[in-house]
Amino acid sequence: MTKPICDTRPAHPSLQDTPWWKGASIYQVYPRSFADSNGDGIGDLAGITARLEHIASLGVDALWLSPFFPSPMKDFGYDVADYCNVDPIFGTLADFDALIARAHDLGLKVLIDQVFSHSSDQHPWFVDSRSSKASAHADWYVWADAKSDGSPPTNWQSVFGGPAWTWDARRGQYYMHNFLKEQPQLNVHNPKVQQALLDVLGFWLDRGVDGFRMDAVNFAMHDPELRDNPPAPLTDKPRTRPFDFQLKLYNQSHPDIPGFVERMRALIDSHGDKFTVAEVGGDDAEREMKLFTAGGTRFDSAYGFDFLYAEKLTPQMVADALLSWPDTPGTGWPSWAFENHDAPRALSRWVDAEHRDAFAGMKMLLLVALRGNIFLYQGEELGLPQVDIPFERLQDPEAITNWPLTLSRDGARTPMPWRHSANDLGFGSGDPWLPFGEDHAALSVDVQARDPHSLLNLVRAALQLRKTHRALATGSVAILHCDAQLLAFERVGQGQRIVAIFNMQAGDARWPEDVPTTGEVLIAVNDAAPGALPGHGALLFVPD
């Protein structure tokens, strides 16, 4: 017997009534790349609406739309120029309303992104703010005088590279930006700014949205005293940009953020049974995720980064992530994703091409077995690998700045393959904004829909299992076994007990003595069965 190396503390099941979102499966749509209805090479809201039946067929509970608001697209929608409208490349507000109505008809909830730490430099608020120190919006953004030598007010660095300050001759001051210089930092300390952002939430709630993903929440407020960040201690983690050289104590994560979170939550709750999930990244993410979801008066959940940038999937990593969110009073609810629009495709990070198909099935059973909400990124249900985008076709400003990166964000944002035989893979008739993946046609929706043994049909079966066995969605979790190759845990709740076991390597594994060997198999991949675990074998079963 291999000695377990993971903590096996159980997390106790909650006795509270379960809202719709707890344990939900959520499908992320990146609108530019999902479906193009008008042939301009860019996906749009009407294209999404036309493909909603595919999303519903997976068995997910909701979809999350990445930004579709008016934007100069310097960061592809995460630079918002109007929080209460639709960019013409994506359609109109009427198209959005039609999408909401169709999704609800299909039993799907709809979440949208909100980007409240910064706006576009083309937003009317910023245009007015930079015009004069006496303008109506003068203090709606973070402005500061130069130091006596003309240098920026602090040593803060931008996530995308270079100082987090840009000089503006019109005001004769620097303005702050944690990301691109075209994404000026909102002064969310200002009560008028907070109220304006609350009004934005109200606008979309009135249009029928079912919740929000809150982008970069821990960047929402800065240190008004403008203190310099201290240097970060040396670690084994590589430093690829100036941002990595500092402890981010003062440019983000201000202690007043939770107070604004509570104001947002109170407004959202006044509109019924909605869902909020926070994006919280960085070196102190776990503490902040729990801070922003504590006590039932803040966000419902936080979107974990544990797996999104990991170069390898290991049993220890998964066990640590699960046990970091015990079901104790006052602790929030986790959300997990293996892929998204900002991270390279998992199958290109975690496994070689030879074992990709087998690994994809194991990976999917693992995702549906996790305690918490689970997010699938468009194309993940097809097992899409990362696309190698040549430099001359790159669109992502981060990838261009830091080229040559091995795996850029663009490589996970390529158009969705719908039809194998079509020249445009069913995405749309125009030249797509990013190239298709050369190996994506063979993985298209129509090909996999016809194959009963495809990953797509496995995803549908696995998500249906999560719906019908509530222990998988909301039950407790306890680690039964963990070593360098195997992970086994049990999910218990509502009178159900399910054992899940995963072989994360390509070689056969000996069944661990501390895991039951008999029971009713609910789902299995790669010839796994109680007592037998071939390479990348995985199964969920009810033990005798």
Whether residue 279 lies in the annotated active site:
yes
Q: What does the alpha-carbon distance between residue 222 and residue 257 come to, in Å, rounded to a whole number?
A: 9
Give the full edge-to-edge strand order of the sheet including 519-525.
Answer: 476-482, 486-493, 496-503, 538-543, 519-525
Q: Where are the alpha helices (DSSP H) in 106-182?
A: 124-131
Burial 513-522 (b: 16+ CB within 10 A, else e): eebbeebeeb
Q: What does the alpha-carbon distance between residue 206 and residue 201 come to, in Å, rounded to a whole number?
A: 9
Structure tokens at 452: 């009963």
- CB-CB contact of 526 with 538 (8 Å): yes
| Burial status of residue 149 (CB atoms within 10 A of its CB: 0-12, 13-18, 19 or more) | exposed
Say which of 279, 288, 342, 381 is annotated catalytic: 279
Strand-pairing partners, residue 65, are: 29, 112
Smallest Cα–Cα separation from 416: which of 28, 25, 24, 26? 28
Q: What does the alpha-carbon distance between residue 288 and residue 279 come to, in Å, rounded to a whole number?
A: 10
Q: What does the alpha-carbon distance between residue 32 and residue 413 come to, in Å, rounded to a whole number?
A: 8
Say which of 215, 306, 410, 490 is annotated catalytic: 215
Whether residue 320 lies in the annotated active site:
no
CB atoms within 10 A of CB 105: 10
Residues with catalytic annotation? Answer: 215, 279
